[in-house]
């Protein structure tokens, strides 16, 4: 039985499957498109909120260094993704990579994990976008009925009509074609990057050198807590992180790391890239470099405009401008955040549909979902199904407590991909690799350790929910996926009837 659970799908077979006419996606993306996708999904509200919040609570002005540390951790994972995406240019990202290196059951588990990660991520972002837009509408004198404003604080029926509408509109755009999606993303990303640059340049005029003193505040010990709300590492070892000081920088890095989540979505578009061997590494690493630079710039500006101890938690960057006598920037920042979240939502939805499509094409999910639209060459069936489900989820559910599941899912994917690079280097050294992760196995091992460290800093209740979802996924695999696997069927046909010759 174990041999069937860990059967691997050859890279050549994965690539061959992409050439079947009824299951083939349109190749229309360039390195620039991929970079725009990466920037579009990484930069969200975190750049306007998280920078100041973490500066006040964890690191002071040294939060800029925390972004550098988090960027390095992501870069380790990005180098592993870049090798896989250029070697196995097939939709599915970590799922497809795992199938080629670890085996079918690990691939299913990571695919199941990614479906949850992207679904919750899309819903959470849609609800956040709805909040910003509702605020802007209130400023203009337009107020939505309470019943259509979401579940938060709702008395009786509550449905977030704005969040659901956003998901449905983006679903339609994704169905109509990848190039259209790329054009929409390019326009929106240009707007939100412009907003970020204007905020950085304008804020630079209000920076005071005295606000950087001390750059690394004196360390403060944090009392270890208990219960499921505490980080798993506290429950296991009784260890509690410290705020401020040198160790506070690393504590802050574990928080701001989640502002980088999303670059791995770029890898799901490998099959729709014209020259994936060259363009996937450029798109993944280029978007990560751009976003790290922007994050550091915003961190330097916000801590220079207002002393870190006086920063607000809810809207630190907007309030910093208010403190300097320029309150209109608050609305400008809200506009930038609302625009920015549009692309975050669309690209997360894009990533999920590609993973679902890849699993369907392999038979681990119903093959009905693996046929592409005859005209638009997009996986329209899973896109419509998931779009409707997520629209309902975003409309009816308060998702704040589930947001951390997105984080642990991403980190789990990082671990699997890094291990997969090591294994595939040993099992298939002859494969042509347009991009090679340097210092293998050292760099992937460091990537695994860094990701595990951040996972241990997540609350224990997040681990419990993650474990329940993974157990449910294993049940679905054994009840459906294992018996419907195309790879398993092909191997049985190749082996011949019982008692016949075997391979």
Name all domains of the chain by residue range, CATH numbers in brackets.
Answer: 2-491 (1.20.1740.10)
Three-class DSSP category at 260:
coil
Element (H, E) at 97: helix 94-101
Which letter does DSSP use for residue 26 in this model?
P
User: What CA–CA distances, in Å, run from 283 to 36, 161, 165, 469?
Assistant: 8, 34, 30, 31
What contacts 349, CB < 8 A, 6 or more positions away?
118, 122, 167, 170, 171, 174, 383, 386, 387, 390
Can you give the pLDDT at residue 44?
A: 78
Can you give the pLDDT at residue 421?
A: 94
Can you give the pLDDT at residue 362?
A: 93
Token duo for residue 225:
């807590």
What contacts 5, CB < 8 A, 6 or more positions away?
103, 104, 105, 482
Can you give the pLDDT at residue 501?
A: 42
pLDDT tens per residue across all 503 residues of the chain: 556 788 999 999 898 888 887 777 888 889 999 999 899 888 876 777 778 888 988 899 999 999 999 899 889 999 999 998 888 888 888 899 999 999 999 999 999 988 888 888 888 888 888 877 887 777 777 877 766 766 555 555 678 899 999 999 999 999 998 777 888 888 888 988 988 898 899 999 999 999 998 999 998 877 666 677 777 887 887 777 678 898 889 888 877 877 787 777 888 888 889 998 899 999 999 999 999 999 999 999 999 999 999 888 767 877 888 888 887 877 788 788 788 888 888 888 988 899 999 999 999 999 999 999 888 889 999 999 999 999 998 888 765 555 666 778 888 889 999 999 999 999 999 988 989 999 999 999 999 999 898 888 788 888 998 899 899 999 999 999 999 999 988 888 887 665 544 33
pTM (2 d.p.): 0.85
């Amino acid at each position: 039985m174990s041999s069937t659970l860990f059967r691997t799908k050859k890279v050549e077979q994965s690539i061959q499957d992409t050439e079947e006419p009824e299951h083939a996606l349109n190749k229309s993306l360039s390195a620039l498109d991929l970079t725009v996708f990466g920037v579009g999904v990484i930069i969200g509200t975190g750049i306007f909120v998280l920078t100041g919040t973490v500066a006040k609570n964890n690191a002071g002005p040294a939060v800029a260094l925390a972004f550098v540390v988090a960027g390095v951790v992501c870069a380790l994972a990005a180098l592993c993704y870049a090798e896989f995406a250029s070697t196995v240019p097939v939709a599915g990202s970590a799922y497809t990579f795992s199938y080629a290196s670890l085996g079918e059951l690990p691939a299913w588990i990571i695919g199941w994990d990614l479906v949850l990660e992207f679904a919750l991520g899309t819903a959470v972002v849609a609800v956040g976008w709805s909040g910003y837009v509702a605020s802007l509408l209130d400023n203009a004198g337009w107020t939505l009925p309470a019943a259509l404003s979401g579940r938060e604080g709702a008395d009786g029926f509550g449905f977030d009509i704005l969040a659901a509408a956003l998901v449905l509109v983006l679903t339609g755009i994704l169905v109509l074609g990848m190039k259209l999606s790329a054009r929409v993303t390019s326009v929106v990303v240009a707007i939100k990057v412009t907003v970020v640059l204007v905020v950085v340049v304008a804020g630079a005029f209000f920076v005071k050198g005295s606000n950087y003193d001390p750059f690394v505040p004196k360390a403060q010990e944090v009392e270890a807590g208990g219960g499921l709300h505490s980080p798993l590492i506290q429950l296991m070892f009784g260890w509690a992180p410290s705020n401020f000081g040198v160790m506070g920088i690393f504590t802050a890095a574990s928080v701001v790391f989640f502002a980088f989540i999303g670059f791995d979505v770029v890898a799901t578009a490998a099959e729709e890239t014209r020259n994936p061997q060259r363009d996937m590494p450029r798109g993944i690493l280029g978007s990560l470099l751009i976003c790290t630079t922007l994050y550091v710039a915003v961190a330097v500006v916000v801590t220079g405009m207002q002393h870190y101890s006086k920063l607000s938690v809810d809207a630190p960057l907007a309030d910093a401008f208010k403190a300097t006598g320029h309150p209109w920037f608050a609305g400008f920042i809200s506009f930038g955040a609302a625009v920015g979240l549009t692309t975050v939502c669309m690209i997360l939805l894009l990533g999920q549909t590609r993973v679902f499509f890849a699993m369907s094409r392999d038979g681990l999910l119903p093959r009905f979902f693996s046929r592409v639209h005859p005209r638009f060459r997009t996986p329209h069936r899973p896109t419509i199904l998931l779009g409707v489900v997520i629209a309902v989820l975003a409309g009816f559910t308060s998702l704040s407590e589930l947001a951390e599941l997105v984080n642990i899912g991403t980190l789990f994917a990082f671990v699997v991909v890094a291990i997969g690079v090591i294994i595939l280097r040993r099992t298939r050294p002859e494969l042509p690799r347009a991009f090679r992760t340097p210092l293998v196995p050292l760099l992937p091992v460091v990537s695994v350790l860094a990701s595990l460290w951040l996972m241990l800093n997540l609350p224990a209740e997040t681990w419990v929910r993650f474990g329940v979802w993974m157990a449910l996924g294993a049940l679905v695999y054994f009840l459906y996926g294992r018996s419907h696997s195309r790879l398993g069927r092909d191997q049985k046909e190749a082996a011949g009837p019982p008692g016949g010759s075997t391979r």
